[in-house]
Amino acid sequence: MLRVIRERYRQGFRTAKFPKEEPQLPPRFRGLPRFAGECPAACPRPCLDLCPFGACRAGADDRLQLDLGRCLFCADCPACPQGRISFGNDYRLAVRRREDLLYRGGDYPLAAPLEPARLKLFGRSLKLRQVSAGGCNGCEADCNVLGTPVFDLGRFGIQFVASPRHADGILLTGPITANMHSAVLATYEAIPAPKIVIASGACAINGGPFRGSPEISQGLDSLLPVDIFIPGCPPHPYTILDGLLRLLDRR
Protein backbone atom coordinates (compact mmCIF):
# COMPACT_ATOMS: atom_id res chain seq x y z
CA MET A 1 0.00 0.00 0.00
CA LEU A 2 2.81 2.37 0.82
CA ARG A 3 4.37 1.67 -2.59
CA VAL A 4 1.06 2.54 -4.27
CA ILE A 5 0.81 5.82 -2.35
CA ARG A 6 4.43 6.68 -3.13
CA GLU A 7 3.91 6.01 -6.84
CA ARG A 8 0.74 8.14 -6.95
CA TYR A 9 2.66 10.97 -5.27
CA ARG A 10 5.46 10.60 -7.83
CA GLN A 11 3.02 10.73 -10.76
CA GLY A 12 1.26 13.80 -9.43
CA PHE A 13 -2.12 15.06 -10.63
CA ARG A 14 -3.08 12.97 -13.65
CA THR A 15 -6.67 14.04 -14.40
CA ALA A 16 -7.07 15.83 -17.74
CA LYS A 17 -8.45 19.37 -17.70
CA PHE A 18 -11.19 18.50 -20.17
CA PRO A 19 -13.63 20.17 -20.87
CA LYS A 20 -11.94 23.42 -19.81
CA GLU A 21 -9.07 22.55 -22.13
CA GLU A 22 -9.29 20.64 -25.40
CA PRO A 23 -7.62 17.20 -25.37
CA GLN A 24 -4.35 16.64 -27.22
CA LEU A 25 -5.08 13.73 -29.53
CA PRO A 26 -2.41 11.91 -31.55
CA PRO A 27 -2.01 12.82 -35.24
CA ARG A 28 -3.21 9.35 -36.27
CA PHE A 29 -6.54 9.82 -34.51
CA ARG A 30 -9.46 9.54 -36.96
CA GLY A 31 -12.33 11.88 -36.18
CA LEU A 32 -14.92 13.78 -38.18
CA PRO A 33 -14.46 13.04 -41.92
CA ARG A 34 -13.31 15.60 -44.44
CA PHE A 35 -14.42 15.85 -48.05
CA ALA A 36 -11.97 17.31 -50.56
CA GLY A 37 -14.20 19.26 -52.93
CA GLU A 38 -17.18 17.94 -54.86
CA CYS A 39 -17.37 14.66 -56.76
CA PRO A 40 -16.44 15.02 -60.46
CA ALA A 41 -19.45 15.30 -62.73
CA ALA A 42 -18.61 12.07 -64.57
CA CYS A 43 -17.75 10.09 -61.42
CA PRO A 44 -19.46 6.65 -61.50
CA ARG A 45 -19.55 6.67 -57.67
CA PRO A 46 -17.55 3.48 -57.08
CA CYS A 47 -17.52 4.38 -53.38
CA LEU A 48 -21.13 3.22 -53.07
CA ASP A 49 -19.93 -0.33 -53.73
CA LEU A 50 -16.35 -0.21 -52.45
CA CYS A 51 -17.12 0.59 -48.82
CA PRO A 52 -17.47 -2.86 -47.23
CA PHE A 53 -19.82 -1.50 -44.56
CA GLY A 54 -22.18 0.48 -46.78
CA ALA A 55 -21.24 3.79 -45.18
CA CYS A 56 -21.10 5.72 -48.47
CA ARG A 57 -24.51 6.72 -49.74
CA ALA A 58 -26.08 9.02 -52.32
CA GLY A 59 -28.46 11.57 -50.84
CA ALA A 60 -31.79 12.72 -52.27
CA ASP A 61 -29.94 15.33 -54.34
CA ASP A 62 -27.44 12.68 -55.49
CA ARG A 63 -24.67 14.23 -53.37
CA LEU A 64 -22.31 11.85 -51.60
CA GLN A 65 -22.89 11.43 -47.88
CA LEU A 66 -21.12 9.31 -45.30
CA ASP A 67 -23.21 7.42 -42.76
CA LEU A 68 -21.16 7.76 -39.57
CA GLY A 69 -23.42 5.21 -37.91
CA ARG A 70 -22.03 2.58 -40.29
CA CYS A 71 -18.53 3.97 -40.82
CA LEU A 72 -15.70 2.13 -39.03
CA PHE A 73 -13.22 4.99 -39.64
CA CYS A 74 -10.79 2.82 -41.58
CA ALA A 75 -7.24 4.20 -41.53
CA ASP A 76 -6.94 4.33 -45.32
CA CYS A 77 -10.51 4.72 -46.48
CA PRO A 78 -10.81 2.43 -49.55
CA ALA A 79 -14.14 3.87 -50.64
CA CYS A 80 -13.04 6.82 -52.80
CA PRO A 81 -10.34 5.93 -55.39
CA GLN A 82 -9.74 9.66 -55.88
CA GLY A 83 -8.86 10.14 -52.20
CA ARG A 84 -11.65 12.61 -51.61
CA ILE A 85 -12.53 11.16 -48.20
CA SER A 86 -10.13 11.60 -45.28
CA PHE A 87 -10.47 11.97 -41.53
CA GLY A 88 -9.82 15.01 -39.37
CA ASN A 89 -8.94 15.29 -35.69
CA ASP A 90 -12.34 16.39 -34.36
CA TYR A 91 -13.45 13.94 -31.67
CA ARG A 92 -16.90 15.54 -31.21
CA LEU A 93 -19.22 13.10 -32.98
CA ALA A 94 -22.24 12.40 -30.73
CA VAL A 95 -25.68 13.38 -32.07
CA ARG A 96 -29.25 13.11 -30.81
CA ARG A 97 -30.92 11.81 -34.01
CA ARG A 98 -29.94 8.89 -36.21
CA GLU A 99 -30.40 10.95 -39.39
CA ASP A 100 -27.85 13.48 -38.14
CA LEU A 101 -25.16 10.86 -38.70
CA LEU A 102 -25.63 11.20 -42.48
CA TYR A 103 -22.76 13.62 -43.03
CA ARG A 104 -21.88 15.39 -46.28
CA GLY A 105 -19.38 17.94 -45.01
CA GLY A 106 -19.73 21.38 -43.46
CA ASP A 107 -21.37 21.96 -40.08
CA TYR A 108 -22.02 18.91 -37.95
CA PRO A 109 -25.17 18.82 -35.73
CA LEU A 110 -23.61 18.10 -32.34
CA ALA A 111 -25.83 16.59 -29.65
CA ALA A 112 -28.27 18.94 -27.95
CA PRO A 113 -29.13 18.70 -24.22
CA LEU A 114 -32.00 16.67 -22.84
CA GLU A 115 -35.37 18.33 -22.57
CA PRO A 116 -35.81 20.45 -19.38
CA ALA A 117 -37.76 17.84 -17.38
CA ARG A 118 -35.13 15.10 -17.65
CA LEU A 119 -32.26 17.58 -17.52
CA LYS A 120 -33.53 18.77 -14.14
CA LEU A 121 -33.46 15.18 -12.89
CA PHE A 122 -30.14 14.02 -14.37
CA GLY A 123 -28.12 17.22 -14.91
CA ARG A 124 -26.09 16.85 -11.72
CA SER A 125 -26.16 13.08 -11.19
CA LEU A 126 -26.44 10.39 -13.84
CA LYS A 127 -26.11 6.66 -13.16
CA LEU A 128 -25.74 4.35 -16.15
CA ARG A 129 -25.92 0.59 -16.57
CA GLN A 130 -23.48 -0.42 -19.29
CA VAL A 131 -24.56 -3.46 -21.31
CA SER A 132 -22.23 -5.31 -23.67
CA ALA A 133 -24.59 -6.91 -26.18
CA GLY A 134 -22.11 -9.15 -27.98
CA GLY A 135 -19.32 -6.62 -28.54
CA CYS A 136 -15.64 -7.31 -29.18
CA ASN A 137 -14.64 -5.41 -25.99
CA GLY A 138 -13.27 -2.42 -27.93
CA CYS A 139 -16.16 -0.11 -27.05
CA GLU A 140 -16.42 -1.70 -23.62
CA ALA A 141 -12.76 -0.97 -22.88
CA ASP A 142 -13.11 2.68 -23.87
CA CYS A 143 -16.16 3.01 -21.60
CA ASN A 144 -14.27 1.33 -18.77
CA VAL A 145 -11.28 3.67 -19.08
CA LEU A 146 -13.56 6.63 -18.30
CA GLY A 147 -13.32 5.59 -14.66
CA THR A 148 -9.55 5.98 -14.52
CA PRO A 149 -7.85 9.05 -12.99
CA VAL A 150 -7.14 10.54 -16.44
CA PHE A 151 -10.82 10.94 -17.37
CA ASP A 152 -12.42 10.66 -13.90
CA LEU A 153 -16.02 10.36 -15.04
CA GLY A 154 -17.23 10.63 -11.45
CA ARG A 155 -16.18 14.29 -11.17
CA PHE A 156 -19.09 15.13 -13.49
CA GLY A 157 -21.56 13.18 -11.36
CA ILE A 158 -21.71 10.34 -13.90
CA GLN A 159 -21.17 6.75 -12.77
CA PHE A 160 -21.62 3.22 -14.07
CA VAL A 161 -23.63 1.07 -11.68
CA ALA A 162 -23.99 -2.69 -11.27
CA SER A 163 -27.78 -2.93 -11.27
CA PRO A 164 -30.29 -1.44 -13.71
CA ARG A 165 -32.56 -0.78 -10.73
CA HIS A 166 -29.99 1.74 -9.50
CA ALA A 167 -29.57 3.33 -12.95
CA ASP A 168 -31.03 6.33 -14.74
CA GLY A 169 -30.26 4.92 -18.15
CA ILE A 170 -28.57 2.26 -20.26
CA LEU A 171 -25.37 2.67 -22.29
CA LEU A 172 -25.25 -0.14 -24.82
CA THR A 173 -22.30 -1.43 -26.83
CA GLY A 174 -22.13 -4.31 -29.28
CA PRO A 175 -24.38 -5.49 -32.13
CA ILE A 176 -27.16 -6.92 -29.90
CA THR A 177 -26.88 -10.58 -30.75
CA ALA A 178 -29.92 -12.86 -30.69
CA ASN A 179 -28.72 -14.28 -27.36
CA MET A 180 -28.61 -10.77 -25.84
CA HIS A 181 -31.89 -9.50 -27.27
CA SER A 182 -34.08 -10.42 -24.29
CA ALA A 183 -31.38 -9.35 -21.80
CA VAL A 184 -31.23 -5.86 -23.31
CA LEU A 185 -35.01 -5.47 -23.15
CA ALA A 186 -35.13 -6.82 -19.58
CA THR A 187 -32.41 -4.37 -18.51
CA TYR A 188 -34.30 -1.48 -20.06
CA GLU A 189 -37.53 -2.48 -18.33
CA ALA A 190 -35.76 -2.74 -14.96
CA ILE A 191 -34.57 0.89 -15.10
CA PRO A 192 -37.06 3.24 -13.42
CA ALA A 193 -38.72 5.82 -15.65
CA PRO A 194 -37.86 8.36 -16.91
CA LYS A 195 -34.70 6.90 -18.41
CA ILE A 196 -31.96 7.52 -20.95
CA VAL A 197 -30.79 5.23 -23.76
CA ILE A 198 -27.31 5.61 -25.29
CA ALA A 199 -26.01 3.73 -28.33
CA SER A 200 -22.20 3.74 -28.29
CA GLY A 201 -20.22 2.45 -31.25
CA ALA A 202 -21.02 1.40 -34.82
CA CYS A 203 -22.25 -2.03 -33.74
CA ALA A 204 -24.83 -0.61 -31.34
CA ILE A 205 -25.95 2.03 -33.85
CA ASN A 206 -26.29 -0.07 -36.98
CA GLY A 207 -24.75 -3.51 -36.51
CA GLY A 208 -21.21 -2.50 -37.48
CA PRO A 209 -19.40 -5.06 -39.67
CA PHE A 210 -22.16 -7.56 -38.84
CA ARG A 211 -24.91 -5.44 -40.40
CA GLY A 212 -27.38 -7.57 -42.32
CA SER A 213 -26.77 -10.74 -40.32
CA PRO A 214 -29.95 -12.43 -39.07
CA GLU A 215 -28.15 -13.11 -35.78
CA ILE A 216 -28.12 -9.44 -34.69
CA SER A 217 -30.53 -6.54 -34.38
CA GLN A 218 -30.13 -3.81 -36.97
CA GLY A 219 -29.40 -1.01 -34.51
CA LEU A 220 -30.54 -0.23 -30.98
CA ASP A 221 -33.11 2.28 -32.24
CA SER A 222 -35.01 -0.63 -33.79
CA LEU A 223 -35.66 -1.89 -30.25
CA LEU A 224 -35.62 1.13 -27.95
CA PRO A 225 -35.97 4.93 -28.17
CA VAL A 226 -32.37 6.16 -28.34
CA ASP A 227 -31.49 9.55 -26.82
CA ILE A 228 -27.94 9.87 -28.14
CA PHE A 229 -25.81 8.11 -30.76
CA ILE A 230 -22.02 8.01 -30.29
CA PRO A 231 -20.34 6.76 -33.51
CA GLY A 232 -16.92 5.15 -33.83
CA CYS A 233 -15.20 1.78 -33.88
CA PRO A 234 -14.66 2.16 -31.02
CA PRO A 235 -15.56 5.72 -30.01
CA HIS A 236 -12.65 7.47 -28.30
CA PRO A 237 -13.19 8.02 -24.54
CA TYR A 238 -13.24 11.77 -25.19
CA THR A 239 -15.95 11.23 -27.83
CA ILE A 240 -18.08 9.37 -25.29
CA LEU A 241 -17.40 11.90 -22.53
CA ASP A 242 -18.15 14.83 -24.81
CA GLY A 243 -21.47 13.25 -25.82
CA LEU A 244 -22.49 12.62 -22.21
CA LEU A 245 -21.64 16.17 -21.17
CA ARG A 246 -23.55 17.64 -24.12
CA LEU A 247 -26.56 15.53 -23.14
CA LEU A 248 -26.39 17.06 -19.65
CA ASP A 249 -25.85 20.60 -21.00
CA ARG A 250 -22.33 20.72 -19.59
CA ARG A 251 -20.62 21.71 -22.88
Write the class of the CATH domain 116-247: alpha beta
Q: Give the pLDDT of residue 145.
A: 96
Question: What proportion of the chain, given as a percentage, has pLDDT over 90?
Answer: 70
Higher pLDDT, 50 or 92: 92
What is the C-alpha to C-alpha distance for residues 233 and 142, in angstroms, rounded to an integer? 10
Distance of CA 211 to the CA centre of its chain: 17
Lowest-pLDDT range of 67-81, 173-187, 202-216 = 67-81
Widest CA span in the chain:
69
CA dihedral 209, 213, 215, 221 (to 10 degrees): 70
If pLDDT is split at 50, 70 and 90, which confidence band does 203 have? very high
What phi and psi values does residue 198 have, to the nearest 5 degrees? -125, 125
Q: Is the pLDDT of residue 96 over 80?
A: yes
According to DSSP, residue 192 is labeled P
Higher pLDDT, 210 or 47: 210
Burial of 47 by CB count in 10 Å (0-12 exposed, 13-18 middle, 19+ buried)? buried
Domain ranges of the chain: 116-247
Q: Is the pLDDT of residue 93 over 90?
A: yes
